[in-house]
Amino acid sequence: MSGDAETETGAAARGAGAPGAAGPDSPAARLQALFEGHRLTPTQRRIAHSMVRRAADVPFLSSVELAELAGVSQPSVTRFAVALGFDGYPALRRHLREVAPTEQSASSASYNAYQQAVEAEIENLRHLAEVLADPRPVQRAGRLLAASRPLPVLGLRAAASQAYGFAYFAAKVHPDVRLLHEGGTMIHDRIDAAVRAGATTLLCFALPRHPREVVDTLAYAKEAGLTVVTVADSAFAPVAKVSDLLLPAAVGTGLAFDTACAPMLLGRVLLEAMCDDLPDAQARLEDFDAKAAGRGLFVE
């Protein structure tokens, strides 16, 4: 990974960890200060990221609830608290309640489980808006995607629909988009074919649970000479180490199956950034609209 790529990924990680960065005395900022100076393992960084993302709720969560939120084991939460210098998680939670007293609003407390899931997604979108306050990583990604001919777009399992949605719209403005949404032994062949055809960048959507095949495929793509741009649920996701530019967008975890409104929206933002670097994008869209009208493709 080049030094420039490391800088971009590091900036993304800082953005992902500061959803409350607008206020230096916000619950998120106080949590960030608590974690600074500690050498955390990847699992502990995942817990820290989850806590910052739900900073207002953390003082009220049990160790089991925090473990479920972060997707780790309950003993990992206990070890995390000890790594921060506390006797255990109860001591950490007491500390959080003392330094960041927060009362859950009456309206929030009355929400049912479905409403809480929606509210969590709204918070994820607010977090994404704060990350996008610095547009440079997305703008850089847009230039990379626009310049790659062809443009392979990867998304497996839970992320397949994200990749498909991006590829569907991208194909209207980009001359050669190649969707990679089915794994298996041929995926390396398709990457090789894209490289031979002139591809320079691969876009990946990576969502939990992260398939090992995605990590292996991105490593192969980098070895083949492709620059890897990844949309992932966290800057601490397993795909970070095999990505040149990682753009974080959190997923919702309040329902039986994760929700991915923020990654979807970030994909549309990337489409916009890519269009900005495709001089004939508007002409292509107008041509499509004219042909669609002539065919009666859509009903009014």
Q: What is the CATH number of the domain that holds 68?
A: 1.10.10.10
pLDDT at res. 60: 82
Residue 27 pLDDT > 80: no
Alpha-helical runs (H) found in the chain: 3-16, 27-35, 42-53, 63-70, 74-83, 89-99, 106-109, 113-131, 136-147, 160-170, 187-196, 212-223, 261-276, 281-295
Average pLDDT taken over every residue of the chain: 86
- What's this model's pTM, rounded to 2 decimal places? 0.70
Same domain? For 26 and 147 the reply is no
- Look at residue 238 and tell me if it is in a domain: yes
Same domain? For 108 and 154 the reply is no
Mean pLDDT over 14-29 rounds to: 50
pLDDT at res. 6: 38
Residue 102 pLDDT > 80: no
Same domain? For 283 and 158 the reply is yes
Same domain? For 73 and 143 the reply is no
Report which listed range, 24-28, 144-148, 207-211, is most confident.
Answer: 144-148
Share of the chain above pLDDT 70, in %: 88
Pairs from 103-110 (Cβ < 8 Å, separation ≥ 24): 104/56, 104/57, 104/60
Residue 100 pLDDT > 80: no
**Per-residue CA distances from 96 to 28, 55, 92 (Å):** 11, 10, 6
CB 274 within 8 A of CB 170: yes
Which helix H or strand E contains 246, and what residues bound it? strand 245-248
pLDDT at res. 59: 86
Q: Pick the last residue of a domain from 86, 103, 131.
A: 131
Residue 62 pLDDT > 70: yes
Who's near 188: CB < 8 A, 6+ residues apart? Answer: 217, 220
Half-sphere exposure of residue 208: CA atoms within 13 angstroms, side-chain side? 22
pLDDT at res. 38: 83
Mean pLDDT over 18-22 rounds to: 39
- Look at residue 300 and tell me if it is in a domain: no
- Look at residue 95 and tell me if it is in a domain: yes
- Look at residue 56 and tell me if it is in a domain: yes
Q: Pick the last residue of a domain from 104, 131, 158.
A: 131
pLDDT at res. 90: 86
For the chain, what is the radius of gyration of the CA atoms?
A: 21
Q: Pick the last residue of a domain from 131, 146, 178.
A: 131
Same domain? For 257 and 159 the reply is yes
Same domain? For 280 and 162 the reply is yes
Same domain? For 88 and 177 the reply is no
Residue 140 pLDDT > 90: yes
Report which listed range, 26-40, 110-124, 194-208, 242-256, is most confident.
Answer: 194-208
Residue 28 pLDDT > 80: no
Tell me the pLDDT tens digit for each residue of 106-138: 455 577 888 888 988 998 898 899 889 999 999
Which helix H or strand E contains 152, and what residues bound it? strand 151-154
Q: Distance between CA 81 and CA 187 in Å, rounded? A: 41
Mean pLDDT over 201-224 rounds to: 96
pLDDT at res. 269: 98
CATH code at position 258 = 3.40.50.10490
**Per-residue CA distances from 45 to 1, 30, 67 (Å):** 21, 16, 13
Number of domains observed in the structure of the chain: 2
Residue 101 pLDDT > 70: no
Same domain? For 140 and 287 the reply is yes
Domain coverage including residue 224: 136-295
pLDDT at res. 109: 57
Residue 105 pLDDT > 50: no
- Look at residue 20 and tell me if it is in a domain: yes
Same domain? For 224 and 173 the reply is yes
Q: Distance between CA 86 and CA 146 in Å, rounded? A: 49
Tell me the pLDDT tens digit for each residue of 283-296: 999 999 999 999 99
- Look at residue 112 and tell me if it is in a domain: yes
CB 206 within 8 A of CB 239: yes
Same domain? For 244 and 192 the reply is yes
Same domain? For 144 and 101 the reply is no
* 36 vs 66, more confident: 66
Same domain? For 174 and 149 the reply is yes
Q: What is the total residue count of the chain?
A: 300
Mean pLDDT over 14-39 rounds to: 62
